[in-house]
Amino acid sequence: MKHKHSSLLNFFTYLFILLVSAFVLAPLLWFLVTSLKPTADVLAFPPRLIPRSVTFEHYSTIIFGSNASTYFKNSLFVAVSTILLTLIIASHMGYAAARFKFIGKNYILFGLLATSMIPGIAILPVLYLLSMKLNLNDTHIVLILVYSAWQIPIVTWIMRAFFESINPELEEAARIDGCTRMQAFYRVILPLSQPGLAASSILVFIYVWYDWLVAQYLTISENMQLVNVGLYSYIRDTGVEWGKFTAYSILTIIPVIALFLILQTRFIEGLTAGGVKG
Amino acid sequence: MSGRMGIVLKNVMKKKEVLYFMLPGLLLVILITFFPIIDSVQFSFYRTYYLELKEFIGLKNYAYFLNNPSSLRSINASLVYVLGTVILSLTLGFLLALVFNRNIRFRGVFRTIAIIPWIISQIVTALLFKWLLDPVYGPVAYYTSLVSDIQFSYLSNKYTAMLILILVNVWRSYPLAMVLILAALQTVPKELYESATIDGASGIKAFFHITLPLSQSTLLVTAILLTINTLNMVTLIYMLTGGSPFGFTEVLSLRLLKEAFHFWNLGMACTIGVIMFILNVLFGIIYIRILHRETIY
């Protein structure tokens, strides 16, 4: 009796995860198949789930026949700059929070956490106005500053937790050897913090790479745009060309999926920590 | 903390050092997050013309917004969207976490698949489903047309548009719930289940008496995170329905975007922004309370 019961449970468990896997994979496969179909087949009726032939024409049109390469370069530049600025600033704050005692520390820490819950869309109109006033509108600098300011709070919390897990005796030893507090931080602690820095970098990278909202409204010129703004304009300006749309879309998510498959654990750490600001 | 640690700490409490470590970050956050919040609140009390402040009108923007039937529809849409997403994502995430907490075959592969939607951008997620549900060329429309001989446009129907929007958002939101709940389940000591089995309580009973109570605070935290994310989400909705049909999916965040960047109505945009702040603060306070209880020692 008992055995029967558990094998029934097993059956439903596998049925359930197979259904979920289908729910996840079906839209993705339909997308992937479309991107590899010849244009004539994309709009075939009834829809062809398995293409008659495979072609990379849509990918080559996007890579060589559109501005996508400029957008990819822009996104890479903005993402790397944001990662550097955010990590430098947030690791300092996280360190101070982990090791120093000072007045108002808890207020600052929870104040920071509270800012990471501020809806970006709610202050975007004012930021737009501010960027116009400062003549920073339509520059990459304004994007880097906004992205950094919005990611610093959560990365500070990640780094603080990380530094707290490092034994303080390491710094003590360095201090006894004649290092100043700052030297001990730069030479001993930071090099030990690579896992925390890696998880944070992934979080920031995905945030910047996937943002559409901020980049859409704080940049105007064609040659300033980031990948998702480019994707959106491409879809808006081109007639219905699902072969090309799907190819373009897949190109934008490939870097992230590759990172995910290579660094799964770190990736999930970073994403979980960033759960607040998706 | 040991006595030696105390000596080191005394050495480092110099003001200059604290400033060196904290000041750049604080300045950036104050400049780009705090000041704009204050500005937004201020602008919400003004009549604006394009991007210019005209005269102070007190709470008139709020009165106008709250007396407008389309605003109530937006609030209602946000509420339905958030509740639907949170309930479905939590349920699906919980069920999956329970499955992956067991020793099933191919656990790693299935878990990787289940996480995938989390790492796909909102804009691409919207396109995925737009194409899947395309009323002319999409497979869903084709196969339903075989059964019902009408080609149904899910995204332009008043009743199904919001449902699809919620399902699509669940598609990309449940992995967060799954990962957080799975992490919580893994901290539940196995001995508890063993002793429960000895006492004759297993399966469903053990779930209600051990699993559920012990993952309570994780569930609450996850619910709040999902609420905040969903309430503030713009891109997915903008790309999938853009608020149509007839504003039925025009949630607060989307309405804010339109007031600001389509109609250039800064005062009204900031008014909606302040309403959203308040909602976020309410949820945020609960979130921080739980976190405070758990991390401060």
pLDDT in tens, B188-225: 888 888 888 888 776 788 888 888 888 888 888 899 88
Question: Residue range B36-42: average pLDDT?
Answer: 94
Is pLDDT at B14 greater than 80 in this prediction?
Answer: no
Is B231 close to A156, i.e. CB distance below 8 A?
Answer: no
**Residues of A whose CB is below 8 A from B15:** 102
**For A142, nearest residue in chain B (alpha carbons):** B32
- Is the predicted pLDDT of residue B281 greater than 80, yes or no? yes
Residues of B in contact with A24 (CB under 8 A): 113-114, 116-117, 171
Find the residue in B nearest to A50 (Cα). B139
| Predicted local distance difference test score (pLDDT) of residue B40 | 94
A250-269 tens-digit pLDDT: 999 999 999 888 888 877 87
> How much is the pLDDT for B7?
45
Mean pLDDT, residues A19-39 taken together: 94
Inter-chain touch A121–B121, beta carbons under 8 Å:
no
Question: What part of A 89-108 touches B (C-beta under 8 Å)?
Answer: 89-90, 92-93, 95-96, 99-102, 106, 108
Which of A142-156, A200-214, A253-267, B228-242 bottoms out in mean pLDDT, i.e. has the lowest? A253-267
Q: What residue in A sits closest to B275 (Cα-Cα)? A: A122
* Yes or no, beta carbons of B233 and A47 under 8 Å apart: no
Say if residues A74 and A224 touch (Cβ distance below 8 Å): yes
How confident is the model over B244-277, as pLDDT tens digits? 888 899 999 999 999 999 999 999 999 999 999 9
Of residues B183 and A271, more confidently modeled: B183
Give the residue from B135, B270, B282 showing the smallest Cα distance to A130. B270
Of B24, B235, B296, the CB nearest to A213: B235
pTM: 0.90
Indicate whether B2 pLDDT > 70: no
pLDDT tops 80 at residue A272:
no
What is residue B257's DSSP assignment?
H
Residue B105 predicted with pLDDT over 90: no
pLDDT at B145 over 90: no
A267 touches chain B (CB under 8 A): yes
Mean pLDDT of B123-136: 93
Q: Are B46 and B57 in contact (CB under 8 A)?
A: yes
How confident is the model at residue B32, as a pLDDT? Answer: 94
* Spatial separation of the C-alpha atoms in residues A25 and A18, rounded to whole Å: 10
Q: How confident is the model at residue A117 (pLDDT cuts 50, 70, 90)?
A: confident
Q: Which residues in chain A touch residue B253, judged by CB atoms under 8 angstroms apart? A: 119, 121
Cross-chain residue pair A272–B176, CB shorter than 8 Å: yes
Determine the distance in angstroms separating the CA of B189 from the nearest CA of chain A, rounded to an integer: 22
Question: Which residues in B lie closer than 8 A to residue A20 (C-beta atoms)?
Answer: 92, 96, 113-114
Between B28, B179, B284, which is nearest A114 by CB?
Answer: B284
Chain A residue numbers touching B286 (CB-CB < 8 A) = none
**Does the CB of A77 have a partner CB in chain B at under 8 Å?**
no
User: Residue A275 has what pLDDT?
Assistant: 60
Which residues in chain A are contacts of B296 at CB distance < 8 A? 106
Min CA distance, B14 vs chain A (Å)?
9
Q: How confident is the model at residue A64 (pLDDT cuts 50, 70, 90)?
A: very high
Residues of A in contact with B85 (CB under 8 A): none
List chain A residues with CB under 8 Å of B239.
232
pLDDT of residue A121: 94
Chain A residues with beta carbon closer than 8 angstroms to that of B13: 100-102
Average pLDDT over residues B56-67: 93
Lowest mean pLDDT: which of A165-174, A213-222, B13-22, B147-156?
B147-156
Q: What rounded mean pLDDT belongs to chain A?
A: 90
Identify the residue among A106, A249, A264, A266 best suited for mutation to test binding to B, counting B beta carbons within 10 A and taking the highest: A249
pLDDT given for residue A217 in this prediction? 95
Average pLDDT over residues A104-119: 87
Interface test with A, best of B74, B131, B179, B295 (most A CBs within 10 A): B131
Average pLDDT in the B172-198 region?
88
pLDDT band at A77 (very low <50, low <70, confident <90, very high): very high
Q: Residue B191 has what pLDDT?
A: 82
Q: Does A272 touch chain B (CB under 8 A)?
A: yes
- Residue to test with chain B: of A213, A228, A238, A259, most B Cβ within 10 A: A213
| Predicted pLDDT at A160 | 92
**Which of A10, A81, A88, A118 to probe by mutation at the B interface, max B CB count within 10 Å?**
A118
Chain B: residue nearest A106 by CA? B296
Question: Residue B137: which of A45, A93, A253 has the nearest Cβ?
Answer: A45
pLDDT digits (tens, 9 = 90+) for A186-228: 988 999 998 899 989 999 999 999 999 999 999 999 999 999 9
Q: What is the pLDDT of residue B218?
A: 87
DSSP string over A98-156? HH---TTHHHHHHHHHHHTTS-HHHHHHHHHHHHHHTT-TTSHHHHHHHHHHHHHHHHH
Q: Please give the pLDDT value at position B1.
A: 38
Contact A244, A62 (CB under 8 A): yes
- Cβ atoms of residues B17 and A141 within 8 Å: no
Q: Is B129 exposed, middle or buried (0-12, 13-18, 19+ CB in 10 A)?
A: buried
Best to test chain A binding among B14, B107, B123, B262 (most A CBs inside 10 Å): B123
pLDDT for res A274: 66
Scored b (16 or more CB within 10 A) or e, A239-249 reads eebbbbbbbbb
Select the highest-mean-pLDDT range: B16-20, B71-75, B102-106.
Answer: B71-75
Question: In this complex, do B40 and A217 lie within 8 Å of one another by their Cβ atoms?
Answer: no
Helix B35-43 vs helix A120-133: crossing angle, to nearest 10: 90
pLDDT for B142 beyond 50: yes
Q: Flag the least confident range among A238-252, B140-154, B243-257.
A: B140-154
Q: How confident is the model at residue A278 (pLDDT cuts 50, 70, 90)?
A: very low
Q: Which chain A residues are closer than 8 Å to B12 by Cβ?
A: 99-100, 181
Range B218-239 burial, b when 16+ CB lie within 10 A, else e: bbebbbbbbbbbbbbbbbbbbb
- Give the pLDDT score at B294: 65
What pLDDT is attached to residue B38? 94
Subunit contact B280:A119, Cβ cutoff 8 A: yes
User: How many whole angstroms separate alpha carbon B294 and alpha carbon B110?
Assistant: 31
Residue of B nearest to A99 (CA): B9
Q: How sure is the predictor about B282, in pLDDT bands with cuts at 50, 70 and 90?
A: confident
Percent of chain A with pLDDT over 90: 62
Instruction: Inform me whether the pLDDT recorded for B82 exceeds 50.
Output: yes
Higher pLDDT among residues A4 and A1, named by residue: A4
**Average of per-residue pLDDT across A126-134:** 94
Residue A105, pLDDT > 50, answer yes
pLDDT of residue A81: 98
d(CA A119, CA B33): 10
Q: Which pLDDT does position B297 carry in this prediction?
A: 40
